[in-house]
Structure 1
């Protein structure tokens, strides 16, 4: 169990919070990878996004270990001093955007597949997020790690079904795939805006005891996070390039497979990941509030957590009305640069310097 908590739990938590806002409906993978060509998308996914995640996660995990900083306020104060609030401003905007994506995806999912009113799906999803936020860290850690097995199972079945039905076409698309200009920037921006989920992972890093554990855990987290997205990318190639214009590409392809059981499994999986993503973001903010109050001799009461969650979720309801494609293309694209300047650059410069000065050891091991 110790090995799991040190090396795999952070990756499963990262994946659990990432997947719904990152690629649950497939819209994000299309926006940042597939529209740059098949080979361009794969190159951006592995040569840019995966490598960047591995580096920043490894440094984040090591910084958290060295300075015992297991929430983003504690971590960023160590890096930026009073300017840590700049990151928080971007984090709050990103959180609202992600919650908007979660709400939009829930509404679209139920409307397109079951004919249930859009607003009902949004409401059910946000109510579920509020409940889990209220329950706190213990249940959240179990949910985020345990659900990952089901996620891999569903994506594996999705890929197998797609190959069974569209295998020759998928192979043909891979052979003739192109690398269009902009693939590197697409992977860069995708990696950056998803770095905003890292605060949601900090609470489970207290099991890491050595630098080697931190670095290996960071690399594994990057791979655990990207692999389901890659399975999806390959699975939808049978409908390329038509899939690029779809609001929810996953369901566009699933409906063509004519496998009701797989569609239901994907719906269940996606609902779970939507809940995890929203809960993870809000939980990280609640943890930040808790440490701030503790520094002042106060504490975050149990009933404070759902109140904070409710306020954030209500704001996200308004954001969700703008539509999923606009949220992804405009909101995420813009916030990427803020995350880059307020988190990536300071941590990779000031943060690394402080780690070396504190430990007297250079990276990686």
Structure 2
């Protein structure tokens, strides 16, 4: 893999594969955070990913500088003197996101497989849980490899699904954009620039909440140059796929797609491709759900493994690491699976916006302040600001 895929590219794919979950694949997130707001939302996917990209880079530089590769140790370095209060708050926020997003992954993937093959929803979620469990117990290297493969598949699928529709329906995209700008197509937001910026910031911050899952991969390329490459490549991959989805859905804005539960499915059913693209988008949703679950569960598994071995010697921790990884992954996967069975998914979906603004205050702003040297601690004195 190192000869074919550089480490910085593999890390960028980890970011993409966790970002590209069931909610993104369905198109619902693009509608809720962008197309449901003023016409200036056309600029906002790039704004969201810029926020995420900077936070991604600064967070991994902190992890590399202080050799802290689980989110609990990392957060103590981030918050410094106020870590006793802020670190547990972030840990609570991250684990809330972990359970909610992974539960959504189970539910979305399970429902999609049920519609495609008519199999039992519970059985489907068990299969998805088993796949996530297997991928997470074999360590960070396998997660990066699987993320790379999954990302390439998903990017290819996104191109196959949306590019033909964008090309064919380009006049409709232009027409619908003008109609949204003129107000003849109702979106649902307040219709102000501030509203668009606020939702873009919340989406970027929502993605930042998952940074705790990426930190462990800093070990693959701990130097600033490689981390900067990972952030830049990740920015372009994520922003590009967001815009393909944005314009693909915009082509059908005059046909009521903004009110659809699964906008991407509406696109393939009414656009270029027909039946076989319906199968392809269903596959994307399932793969996206699994990839998100793997990235988030593994990030927390590393934290639990360290907790389980807290009273052991380094040699004992190494010897017990495999069994601790299996136990930690099993605990997390089962917890998320149970939540998915409780019927909480509608509440989870409504809570994403709230998680976004809370993360903006608790995590994103502190990371950016630290990164640009506007908030420093004594241990930083020997270093220049992270932005350099």
TM over 0.5: yes
TM-score w.r.t. the length of structure 2 is: 0.84
Cα distance in 1 for partners of 2:10, 2:35 equals: 29
Secondary structure of the corresponding residue to residue 253 of structure 1: helix
1:219–1:29 distance in 2 versus 1, CA, 3 Å: same
Secondary structure of the corresponding residue to residue 313 of structure 1: helix
TM-score w.r.t. the length of structure 1 is: 0.88
Contact 2:69 2:218 in 1 (8 A): yes
Is 1:169–2:172 an aligned residue pair? yes
1:25-53 CA-partner distances (Å, limit 9, x unpaired) = 1111111111004x33322212x302211
Out of 111, 132, 135, which is 2:135 matched to? 132
State the 1:122 CA deviation. 2.5
Runs of 4+ off more than 4 Å:
none
Q: 229-238 or 205-214: which moved more? A: 205-214
Is 1:122–2:125 an aligned residue pair? yes
State the 1:165 CA deviation. 4.5
1:232-270 CA-partner distances (Å, limit 9, x unpaired) = 111122221512222222112222235333333333333
The unaligned stretches of length 5 or more in structure 1 are none
The unaligned stretches of length 5 or more in structure 2 are 184-190
Is 1:316–2:318 an aligned residue pair? no
Secondary structure of the corresponding residue to residue 69 of structure 1: coil
Is 1:228–2:227 an aligned residue pair? no
State the 1:203 CA deviation. 1.9
Residue pairs, 1:52-67, within 5 angstroms: 52-67=51-66
1:168–1:128 distance in 2 versus 1, CA, 3 Å: same
Secondary structure of the corresponding residue to residue 119 of structure 2: coil
State the 1:357 CA deviation. 2.2
Cα distance in 2 for partners of 1:323, 1:255 equals: 28
Q: 6-15 or 218-227: which moved more? A: 218-227
Aligned residues: 362
1:248–1:122 distance in 2 versus 1, CA, 3 Å: farther
Cα distance in 1 for partners of 2:243, 2:348 equals: 22
Cα distance in 2 for partners of 1:222, 1:22 equals: 19
1:74-100 CA-partner distances (Å, limit 9, x unpaired) = 211222333312111111111111012
Contact 2:105 2:289 in 1 (8 A): yes
Out of 178, 195, 200, which is 1:187 matched to? 200
Contact 1:5 1:207 in 2 (8 A): no
State the 1:147 CA deviation. 1.8
- CA RMSD of the aligned region, Å? 2.6
Out of 351, 363, 368, which is 1:343 matched to? 363
Q: 97-106 or 248-257: which moved more? A: 248-257
Secondary structure of the corresponding residue to residue 36 of structure 1: coil
